[in-house]
């Protein structure tokens, strides 16, 4: 059978009166159908984007709220108290950064003898205990100040400490009194120099740095000052640098150090 050409011929070949559209009409219908699908797809994409944006905004709000909860307490409002052995003085410095909540204790041995120190600390939120920790510092020389840090993973607005001094063991020797400190201050760091003017090596010497801007504590960091043998030998000077991570730098720094010695 020869292919029919034209609508009239095609209609005559059929058994009903339904007309079959020509090619242009078919193309037009196809374009309309495709256009409708594209419009639907675009609508679905826009809806999905709006949904994702809404989810991101909600998550950001939750994160912001959580961050606010972490810093609900102003460190300047935190109250501290404690009990200490005779001749021991303590100053507490609460400090919160973006990740942790600390209380630094500056402990001064104003007694008439060298000693070891045992320290415990409890953290409270509105009178309820939310954390507890302890530490110790050995061979604290009389007339010197050492620093120890304590952290709590819960928000707190008060703390209590207890510092107990005890006698040195037979082999422990204090060395802090023989270490001469020099601090060079730069824009974003300090260079700490410690010279051992004593006759015994100072071992495992570490130091804390408190960085201030306009009288306000803006950062804290710590490091070690020791040679390849983890000590500062008699007559030697060892240097170490410690950075401050604060925008705009700092204008003052206070350094506290501690090391230990032992009898041969």
155 lies in the same domain as 105: yes
Q: Rounded CA gap, 103 and 95, in Å?
A: 6
179 lies in the same domain as 207: yes
Is 6 among the domain residues?
no
Is 173 a residue whose pLDDT tops 90? yes
Average pLDDT score, the chain: 83
Q: In the listed set 65, 95, 120, which residue is the last one of a domain according to the structure? A: 65
| Residue 12 CA to its chain's centroid (Å) | 86
Could you report the per-residue pLDDT of 212-224, keeping only the tens digit for each? 999 999 999 999 9
Q: Rounded CA gap, 186 and 207, in Å?
A: 17
Is 233 among the domain residues?
yes
**Angle at the Cα of 145 (from 99 to 141), degrees rounded to 5?**
130
Is 4 among the domain residues?
no
Is 10 among the domain residues?
no
42 lies in the same domain as 103: no
Percentage of residues in the chain having pLDDT higher than 70: 72
Supply the pLDDT for residue 98: 77
Is 11 a residue whose pLDDT tops 60? no
What CATH number is given to the structural domain containing 111?
A: 2.60.40.3230
Q: In the listed set 168, 185, 219, which residue is the last one of a domain according to the structure? A: 168
Is 15 among the domain residues?
no
Torsion region of 214: left, alpha or beta (phi above 0 gives left; psi -120 to 50 gives alpha): left
Is 8 a residue whose pLDDT tops 50? no
Q: Rounded CA gap, 160 and 83, in Å?
A: 8
> For residue 89, which of 191, 163, 175 has the smallest C-alpha distance?
163
157 lies in the same domain as 239: no
Q: How many domains does the chain fold into? A: 3
82 lies in the same domain as 53: no
Is 118 among the domain residues?
yes
Q: Rounded CA gap, 97 and 108, in Å?
A: 25
Is 203 among the domain residues?
yes
Is 245 a residue whose pLDDT tops 80? yes
* Domain boundaries, position 218: 172-264
Predicted TM-score of the model (pTM): 0.71
Q: Rounded CA gap, 131 and 152, in Å?
A: 6
216 lies in the same domain as 187: yes
Is 13 among the domain residues?
no
């Amino acid at each position: 059978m020869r292919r029919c050409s034209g609508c009239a011929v095609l209609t005559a070949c059929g058994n009903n009166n339904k007309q079959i559209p020509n090619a242009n009409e078919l193309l037009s219908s196809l374009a309309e159908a495709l256009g409708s699908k594209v419009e639907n797809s675009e609508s679905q994409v826009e809806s999905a984007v709006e949904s994702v944006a809404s989810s991101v905004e909600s998550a950001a709000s939750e994160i912001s709220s959580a961050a606010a909860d972490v810093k609900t307490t102003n460190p300047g409002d935190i109250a501290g108290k404690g009990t200490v052995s005779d001749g021991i003085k303590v100053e507490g410095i609460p400090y919160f950064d973006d990740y942790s909540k600390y209380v630094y204790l500056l402990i001064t041995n104003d007694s008439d003898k060298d000693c070891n120190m045992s320290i415990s600390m409890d953290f409270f939120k509105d009178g309820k205990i939310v954390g507890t920790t302890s530490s110790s510092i050995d061979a604290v020389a009389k007339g010197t100040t050492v620093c120890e840090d304590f952290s709590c993973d819960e928000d707190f607005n008060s703390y209590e400490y207890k510092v107990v001094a005890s006698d040195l063991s037979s082999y422990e020797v204090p060395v802090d009194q023989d270490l001469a400190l020099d601090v060079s201050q730069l824009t974003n760091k300090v260079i700490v120099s410690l010279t051992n003017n004593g006759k015994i090596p100072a071992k495992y010497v570490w130091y804390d740095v408190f960085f201030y801007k306009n009288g306000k504590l803006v950062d804290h960091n710590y490091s070690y000052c020791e040679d390849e043998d983890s000590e500062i030998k008699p007559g030697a000077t060892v240097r170490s640098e410690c950075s401050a991570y604060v925008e705009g730098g700092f204008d003052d720094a206070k350094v506290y150090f501690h090391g230990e010695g032992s009898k041969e």
